[in-house]
Structure 1
């Protein structure tokens, strides 16, 4: 049995998730700004960075959703799921 407080573990997990999201956001801004500069320096024809901006932006939005949008799993959720599954055996 572990002596750690589950609330402390959950708080540490959330703080790490928020830090990871901030790192992802900074990388997104820096890399995409660089790509836009390359696009502008090479003639500024078809705006090809939109593919990276859009794809990565969608991933970043999903990352933000997991950090800020999803509610944490509670003991009530676990109990309700166990009751719903009944006698199923987990392998």
Structure 2
């Protein structure tokens, strides 16, 4: 049974079926954001939040920085203790006992230990201090500091 509508198929039982939808039309070209205005990955940046939300997010970031620093300090401290133990063991064996005659830069003297351990310990302390500065020493800029700088420059 074929109807008068040319879109209606002539298959039996399809008489009450709706006509197929028209093909979608092509959309005009819409350029994306300018190069460098949006990150290449991840979600788009969130709209500016309220000051309370910004303060909360900054506090959360600071807590995360402190936790990361503490974890780094503990793990590297354990590594430094293990290195010191290895140094003590090797020096005890090389010098034939405890350092009763002091420390020296020369090896293989009886009861004199080589003091090379101070170099990695010093490097570790400098590294830890450099990691601690952004976490504990670098505070956010306050409005009073901004105003003081504006007054100082006379702008």
Structure 2 segments unaligned to the other structure (5+ residues) = 1-46, 93-112, 150-155
Residue 81 of structure 2 corresponds to: 33
TM-score (norm 1): 0.71
TM-superposition CA deviations, 1:4-52 (whole Å, max 9, x none)? 7111110111001100110121022201110011011112431322211
Residue 6 of structure 1 corresponds to: 54
- Corresponding residue SS for 2:120: helix
Provide the aligned C-alpha RMSD in A.
2.5
Return the index of the structure with the highest Cα Rg.
Answer: 2
Q: RCO higher in 1 or 2 (8 Å CA, sep ≥ 6)?
A: 1
Q: Which has the higher helix share?
A: 1
Q: Which runs of 4+ in 1 moved over 3 A?
A: 74-81
TM-score (norm 2): 0.45
